[in-house]
Amino acid sequence: MSAKATSFGVGFAETTDSLLAGVEASKQALQTAGLFPEEVQLCFLFCTSRHEAEHFFEGVKSCLGEQTQYFGGFSNGACTNTELGYDGYQAIVGLLGKGDFKFDLMIQEGIGFHEFETGKSLGLKIQAQKYDSEPQMFLLFDAVNRLEGRFRMNYGTPFIKGMSESIQKWPNTIGARMLGDMKFKPTRQWCGQSMSQNAAMALLMHGNIKMDSQIMHGCQPASAYHKVTAVKGANILELDHKPALEVVGKILGPDLMERPQELKFFVTLGKNVGDKWEAFNPGNYINRMCVGVDTQGKGIYMAEMDIETGMEVQLMRRSFEMEYVSVRTKKLIQRVKSQNRRIIFGLYINCSGRAAAYSNHTDEDVRYVQEAIDGEFPLMGIYEAGELAMIGEKLQVLDWTGLFCIFSEEIN
């Protein structure tokens, strides 16, 4: 293998003191990686919005060398091989030692109300780089826009469309839309050696390192196809020429419609990008979650604005089999190992809505990822507000999925 196997370690903390949380997680990560502070070249760091971002960052930096670069931000929770938590004071740090690879960090601020322009500008920075081999890209962007006081989602579809204007060919890409809690408080990001906000950023790794990923789907059709007949931005106003809220309510039943705000984070619509008459294939669906209800206009606000007039959608039932998660995790691990590659670490990006507390489940899918890995390599996991994954040759924003990723190096 490379002259020295690349080291990676993960640290987890739940202490309410933000500075101490940064110190505790960083020291734990150094110990598990077997690294000295000066040997760390890249630090992944995430914490919930309950933490003071400046103090957490200060605690992490106090444990590492001056040359360490940082990449991360707020998340609604975190997990390791043995730990799991969300909606509290969870903080996680992942430390990557030196290896036969290099990386570049890029950031573009100002995504609020300017998703397309931000994507295009970030894409230009990425396109300007020259690589001998295809880079592996980890993309993060702020989910929360509160520039006008009230919450508005930063939409991923125009952001990706903007990036597509600049990038000639998408590299292998994974990513997430970041949030720190389910109340959508303002978020923070870290890139390089600085803290930012209202930003999109990219980590591009190249050399002897590769990312492989597996999407964990979690929805099945629960209705016939309904045609979208009126839309305003991300607000679906009509289905089949009837108020969207009434159509959804008729399917779900009158009890739920007496409390329409409970539809938020509950209703999910699916777009079938395959043949509508073929047997159900979860890989052909792009699902969109409802994030708000327009009681006056009787519409439903979706997490993205890519559901357009004329499209056909289905109401989706959220139901994922835990054994399915375990099987797909094990299959990806075996696939990577069969390619004569050593696994450096695993990353699990999970939709916050899949957590048991929000999904009416009694079990956590993360537990099955942890069991499938069985301590074979380090695991770093985060809960976010949308997963980014390649479907074919295009990057897509996904809702209600988990994204299991493996970073590996070739064994020579």
Write the pLDDT tens digit of every residue in 379-389: 999 999 999 99
- Cβ–Cβ < 8 Å for 47, 75: yes
Kindly indicate the confidence band of residue 189, based on its pLDDT and cuts at 50, 70 and 90: very high
Q: What pLDDT sits at residue 1?
A: 40
Q: 314 lies in a domain?
A: yes
Residues 136 and 24 in one domain: yes
Residue 257 to residue 252: CA distance in whole angstroms: 8
Q: What is the mean pLDDT of residues 51-78?
A: 98
Residue 366 to residue 87: CA distance in whole angstroms: 15
Residues 41 and 154 in one domain: yes
Residue 12 to residue 179: CA distance in whole angstroms: 18
Q: What pLDDT sits at residue 3?
A: 55
Q: What percent of the chain clears pLDDT 70, i.e. is strictly above it?
A: 99
Q: 3 lies in a domain?
A: no
Residues 194 and 155 in one domain: yes
- pLDDT-wise least confident of 1-5, 91-95, 313-317, 375-379: 1-5
Report the mean per-residue pLDDT for the chain.
94
Q: What pLDDT sits at residue 37?
A: 98
Can you give the residue range of the structural domain that contains 95?
A: 8-216+323-410
Give the β-pairing of 341-351 and 379-384. parallel
Residue 310 to residue 284: CA distance in whole angstroms: 19
Q: What is the mean pLDDT of residues 169-195?
A: 96
Residue 38 to residue 228: CA distance in whole angstroms: 56
Residues 125 and 56 in one domain: yes
pTM of this prediction? 0.94
Could you say which of 297, 318, 339 is where a domain stops?
A: 318
For the chain, the domain total comes to 2
Residues 334 and 378 in one domain: yes
